[in-house]
Every structure is written in structure tokens, then in C-alpha cells.
Structure 1
Amino acid sequence: MASRWKQIGHRVEYALARALLYGFSRMAPQTASRLGAGTARMIGKWAPVSRIADINLRLIQPHLSDAERAYEVGKSWGHIGATLAELPHLPRLIRNEASGPGWTIAGEEHLLALRDHDGPIIFFSGHIGNWEMLPPIVASYGLAFAPFYREASNPLINRLIAALRQKAVGQAVPMFPKGARGARAAMAHLKNRGRLGVLGDQKMNDGIAATLFGEEAMTASATASFALKYQCIIVPGVMRRVGPARLHLRVEKPFMPVATGERQKDIEKLTQQLNDQLETWIREAPDQWLLLHRRWPRHFYARSEKPRA
């Protein structure tokens, strides 16, 4: 009986998601983005999870007042809502140097230089700006990659999102769910000189205790491990939202990880290097990061939630 109710719940969630995305798809991209942002901001201020975003901001921007943090948390909700609303419009967002919907890029020369590279590549980023736009932009340079992704608990919604991502990229690409099965498939993909995309800013309980903003943050070591094992070029890049349905990708200088022969130390060093890159990106615009995520250990939040003297 419990399983049947769960299936019914999944179908209801799926129907609501389909209806919501269809509604956004019938609007102009800027209108959908504005509506998604505004709705999320209104709902978000009442959501209990906003408390997590507030605690995260205390670490990232300790100089802010309570009112300023509340404002930044609202902006973060707005970016989440805009990202959702922009999903059905991604295939229609094209390079545009003027104003209006579309995208621009800095560091284009790095992607152009990699077009003829016949070895494995890892594109590294985080849940910043509209991260969903990163794959289609990179694919437009002939560098489509297979993304690692976290599966939704509802398999119907999971398939819906996967279909939207494939449509945005404009071609069929493999997608690897996080976990042992996905990791094995990703390793085989890189071994065959494939390209992989990783959003490396989420907590991984069985990862490495690297630091982020001076606090211990359990971090997935897969990116570093894969890159060192298969000598992958790592291409860091960050998405920014600069307006409604208007996005900007900054591609950092690609690099090849250095292997010294001490594999575990090399993995730890590279993992910390990637965390440092994420920290730099997040500091630039904390509100565009996924602030609602419990990025640090449980004791960090328990300590931060204690009443102030």
C-alpha cells in the first residue's frame, strides 16, 4: 500500500512539473525568468530551508547584517526560480552580444583550442548562476560532454529533466548518475577519451575533508582521482546570470593535473585546488550559488544555530 501511494505521489508531482514547465515554455524567455524568480523569492522567505542559506552566508559574508543576509537569501531563491523557468528555453538561448535573452562568453579561446584535443577532458563547475546552460554552450563549440548528475527521487521527474537537458545540448549524450554505478561508467567513458562534466560543490559524506571558506567540507574526490588516473585536462568554468534569461560563461585556463607518484596526496591536493576555485567563484556573487545546500558537516550547522549571547 505504501508503495502504491508513493507511485501516485510521483505521478502527481510529475503532472505538476510538466504543467509548470509547459506554462513557462509558452512565455517569452525573459518573462518566464522574471516570473520564476519572483515566485521563488515570495515562497522562499517562508521556507524553513532558508535558515540553512542564512547560516551559509554568515560564513561566506560575515560582515552582512541580518537584514542584508535576508535580502541575499531572497536573491538566491530568485536565481533558483529563474533557473527552473529557463529550462524549457535553453535550446533557444543562443550567443548574443547585445541585450535580451541569450548568452555571452569570456575565455572562448580555451574552448577553441580544445576542439582537436583527442584525450579525455573534465569540465568542472558548480551550482552557480544557471548551471544548466553550461552543457549546451560548451556543446556549441563541438565539445559536448557527459554530465555527472544527482538523480531526482521521483523517476518520472528524473526522466523529464534528462530529456530537457538532452534537448538543450542538441544531441544524445550519456549521463552518469552519482554513485558507484555512475562512477564506473564515467571511468570507462574517460578511458575511451571521452569528455565529462562535474558540478563539484556538493557535500559528499564519504569524500575528502578539504576546506571551503576555512571550514572542513567533505568533498568528492572523484574529479581529482579520475583526472590523475587518465591524465585529463581540467577546464574550470562558471556560469553567471546577468539578466532575465541572459547568461554569461567564463572559462578559466585549462590545466593538466600534476602526478608526483604519491597518488593519495596528489588527489588531496587537487581536490583542495578545485575547492579553492569554487570559493573564488562563490565569493564573487554568493547569491548566485545554491545557498540552500547543507555544504558543511552537521556539527557546523548545530553550532551556528545556537542562540547568540
Structure 2
Amino acid sequence: MTNAPPETPPAPATAPRPSLVHRLEYRALVAADALLRLLPVDAGSALMGRLWRWFGPFNRRHARAEKNLAAAMPDLPVAARRRILAGMWDNLGRVAAETLQIRRIIADPARLTVAIDPAALAAIRPGRGAVFVSMHSGNWELVSAAIPQLGLEAAAVYRRVKNPLTEEFLLQRRRGLYPAGLLPRSHSAGLRLAGLARRGAGIAMLGDLRDRRGTVIDVFGRPSYVSVAPVALARRLDLPLIAARIVRLRGVRFRIEAELVDVPRTDDAEADVLAGTRLVNARFETWIREYPAQWMWILRRWLD
């Protein structure tokens, strides 16, 4: 386990002055947080899920989700695809509510079941870190709850939001989940994560985002921009790569699954990274097919 002090995001040289829209958005977020704190966790999650289920189809991204699902699973009847997308919006609404109440969820061990592949446990070496790669399914923030099960402290990179008030508010909720460091996405973030991993941190990364800097492989039979960063980091530092997913069981109860990815380690680093990336995405595809309503079909992953 790393004993290094946690990494914190550097303060901007000149913090942008919040606009009126930023202030209104922030006040709405604070009001929503206050309401959710008054409600039981299950009630708040269910309420937000129901609202998003109702209003999600009016979002401009719904058409993209319909297109992606139809292309990925063309044999599904239209009615089945509609049920999946309704479930997706319900899950996303729940995630929005649960993100604000994440500490209450993790503090209740009855809500989380952790199933770690014995091979993943055996791959962890004393004083060395690991790379965890996950996807936007279930409530993906809870991957950080599995990392301590392996004797590691979690670290991650996050994408800044445009509203500085909202960003700081959300960071306050998330920092405790990543005691080894929560870093803003930047050109130097990869080097800083590598340093944390060398000192024994468990690096949590999302591997299902569109990444033009990565490579193109087939996902659900269609060319897709995918990130090679998790595999490249694990191979370069000779660390285990562990694929993880969160399955929503019922309401605000989850199963966290983690399994070792057998990344090739030959003399051809580029070929190894490509092969490992294919393995990760093949595992993701299998998992998505198992619980399609829990994955974020609104993502812009494919070339077309």
C-alpha cells in the first residue's frame, strides 16, 4: 500500500469567475443534494431514476443511444430495445443521485458484494500497484470500493466540468474514494499516475470512452475508437491489469466483480498493447450483453 501523500489537483493559475448560469446550476445541485440527504438512499435513487426514465427520451442523446443499440444488437425486437433504453435512463438517474450520496452507500457493507478472481488476488505483489479498468455500467464510481480489498489505495483521473462551483462540490464528494490521489485529466496525468502506481497505488481507469489518441478496433462488430492507456500503463510498469464491473442487483445494492486480464508481454510492445486492448473490450462486450440496460449507450464510441 502506498504511503505517499495523496495527489490533489493543482489550482488553476487564474480561476475563472463563475457566470450567472454557473451559479444557478450550482444552486440547483445544492438543492438536489439537500433533498437527497433528507431521503433514505434507496428512495432518493429510485426518485431520480424515475425522473430520468421519464425525461431521458427527450434528451438529444437518446437518438444516439437508439442508433448504437440497434447497431450493436440488431436481432433485438424494437420493444426490447425500448425497454433497455428506459432501463439505461433509470440507471443513469440513479447514478446521479448515488454520486451525491456515495459515502452513505460505501459505509453500508450490506449494499456491496465484492467478488475478486483468485488470479487477480495472486497477481498483486507487496509494494506494487495495479491497474483497474472498468466501464460505465451499474454505478462505476464504486470500483474504488473494491481496490482496498486488494490491500491498495485507489487513485484516478477525472474530467473537469465547465462549472468551477459544481466541480469543487463534486470533488468534495469523490476525494475520499481515492486516497492515493484524484487528478484532473491533463497531458501530465499519465506520468503522475505511473508514479503513484510505482509506489503501490491501485489506478482506476475507465476503458470504454472514445479516445482518438488510442487505436481503432471492432466493438460490437463496428470500428470504434478505444483507449490503450490502461493496457499500456500496466504493461510498461509490469503491473497486473484487472478488469472490473459493477452490477446493480436491486435498488442500491451492487456486486463488484474483478478479474485478471492476461496481457501479453513479448518483445513487441505495440502488439502486446493492441492484443490486451482487444481482450479488455471483448470482456466489456460480454458484460454489456449480460446487462445491456446498465450500460451507457449514449456514449459516442464508434467511427460512424
TM-score (norm 2): 0.87
1:286 is matched with which residue: 277, 280, 292?
292
Aligned to 2:139: 130
Structure 2 matches for 1:270-281, cutoff 5 A? 270-281=276-287
Q: Which ranges in structure 1 are unaligned for 5 or more consecutive residues?
A: 97-101, 301-309
Q: Which ranges in structure 2 are unaligned for 5 or more consecutive residues?
A: 1-14
- Say if 1:44 and 1:50, in contact at 8 Å, map to a contact too: yes
Determine whether 1:174 maps to 2:181. Answer: yes
2:109 is matched with which residue: 92, 95, 105?
95
Q: Give CA deviations for 1:92-113 in whole Å, capped at 9, x if unaligned.
A: 23222xxxxx121223756765
SS of alignment partner, residue 101 of structure 2? helix
Structure 2 matches for 1:245-256, cutoff 5 A? 245-252=252-259, 254-255=260-261
Structure 2 matches for 1:234-245, cutoff 5 A? 234-245=241-252
Letter in 2 for 1:118: G
SS of alignment partner, residue 133 of structure 2? strand
SS of alignment partner, residue 203 of structure 2? strand
SS of alignment partner, residue 152 of structure 2? coil
Letter in 1 for 2:209: Q
- Say if 2:155 and 2:179, in contact at 8 Å, map to a contact too: no
Alignment: residue pair count:
288
Determine whether 1:55 maps to 2:61. Answer: no
Whole-angstrom distance in 2 between the partners of 1:76 and 1:154: 26
Whole-angstrom distance in 2 between the partners of 1:166 and 1:139: 15
- Say if 1:149 and 1:175, in contact at 8 Å, map to a contact too: yes
Aligned to 1:193: 200
Change (3 A) 1:265 1:141: closer
Q: What is the CA-CA distance between 1:258 and the residue it aligns to? A: 2.6
Letter in 2 for 1:7: S
- Say if 1:217 and 1:295, in contact at 8 Å, map to a contact too: yes
Q: What is the CA-CA distance between 1:255 and the residue it aligns to? A: 4.4
Letter in 2 for 1:132: E
Aligned to 2:128: 119
- Say if 1:60 and 1:286, in contact at 8 Å, map to a contact too: no
SS of alignment partner, residue 211 of structure 2? strand
Bigger shift: residues 255-264 or 193-202: 255-264
- Say if 2:22 and 2:163, in contact at 8 Å, map to a contact too: yes
Q: What is the CA-CA distance between 1:28 and the residue it aligns to? A: 0.4
- Say if 1:121 and 1:194, in contact at 8 Å, map to a contact too: yes
2:211 is matched with which residue: 204, 207, 217?
204
Whole-angstrom distance in 2 between the partners of 1:44 and 1:278: 24
Bigger shift: residues 142-151 or 114-123: 114-123
Determine whether 1:18 maps to 2:24. Answer: no
Q: Give CA deviations for 1:122-149 in whole Å, capped at 9, x if unaligned.
A: 0111011011112134336542210122
Aligned to 1:159: 168
